[in-house]
Structures are given as structure tokens and as C-alpha cells.
């Protein structure tokens, strides 16, 4: 069964962030987010195995399921999560004829104000505050 845990790399990173920029470059996946004056950049450096972006209007079930399982306070004031026993990773495993099971993936999920971004990688991203 899929399990979500809050992921808070910095103490200052509470509240709901909005995805301002999502760029897949040769250097990796770069996600810039903001909450008021606070701006951060998450860099998944190098090879990205899988990621997806979903507008909130196409993801009603995700917040509904989180609310049922964990309560509104769990995700209502948080944007950053790690997911274990991930349905997304199970989907990737099926689509790759189980090739992906050979890798120690981590599933990071960003539940923004207007979108959801899922990233499957084998390492922790770099996160920094930006001006």
C-alpha cells in the first residue's frame, strides 16, 4: 500500500508552494517554486528516470485520497512529500517489463497550489533558496 511522508529538507519550507518553472535540461530536471517572497529551486541533477506533471484540474482523486487516509492537515499546508510503495513506481515497473525493479528509486512528489509533480530518481535532489 502506498505511503506518503512529508519531506521537509529545510525548516523554513512549510506552507503551499507554487510551481513557477519546470525545465528538463541536459543538466537535469530543474523545478523553481515560490510561496509569496520565498523562492526555491530543486535540482534533480543528471539522469532523470521518470517524471510527470499534472494540473490540479486533472488530479482531483489525489488530494481526495490523501484527505481520507491522512486528514486535510497532512497535505493542506505542505507541498513536499516522499512516497514509498509508490503506485507511480509500480506503473513504471509494469511499463519497463520490471526492469525498473533493479534500481533503488525514490519517489518525490510536489503538491503545488495548482499542480502535482512526481519525480522518480535514485538520489536526493539539491535544494536552494533563490533571490
At 100, is the pLDDT very low, low, confident or very high (cuts 50, 70, 90)?
low
- Work out the percent of the chain whose per-residue pLDDT is above 90: 50
Mean pLDDT of 36-47: 90
Integer Cα distance of 90 and 9 in angstroms? 25
Sheet hosting strand 38-45, strand order edge to edge: 18-25, 28-35, 38-45, 126-129
Mean pLDDT, range 87-116, rounded to an integer = 86
Answer yes or no: pTM beyond 0.85: yes
- Tens digit of pLDDT for each residue in 65-93? 888 999 888 878 889 999 999 999 999 88
Does the pLDDT value for residue 115 go beyond 70?
yes
Contact 40, 13 (CB under 8 A): yes
Amino acid at each position: 500500500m502506498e505511503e506518503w511522508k512529508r519531506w521537509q529538507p529545510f525548516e523554513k519550507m512549510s506552507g503551499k508552494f507554487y510551481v513557477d518553472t519546470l525545465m528538463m535540461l541536459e543538466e537535469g530536471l530543474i523545478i523553481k517554486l515560490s510561496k509569496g517572497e520565498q523562492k526555491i529551486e530543486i535540482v534533480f541533477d543528471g539522469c532523470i528516470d521518470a517524471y510527470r506533471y499534472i494540473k490540479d484540474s486533472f488530479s482531483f482523486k489525489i488530494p481526495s485520497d490523501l484527505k481520507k487516509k491522512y486528514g486535510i492537515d497532512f497535505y493542506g499546508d505542505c507541498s513536499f512529500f516522499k512516497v514509498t510503495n509508490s503506485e507511480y513506481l509500480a506503473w513504471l515497473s509494469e511499463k519497463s517489463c520490471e526492469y525498473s525493479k533493479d534500481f533503488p528509486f525514490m519517489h518525490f512528489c510536489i503538491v503545488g497550489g495548482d499542480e502535482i509533480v512526481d519525480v522518480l530518481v535514485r538520489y536526493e535532489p539539491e535544494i536552494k533558496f533563490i533571490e
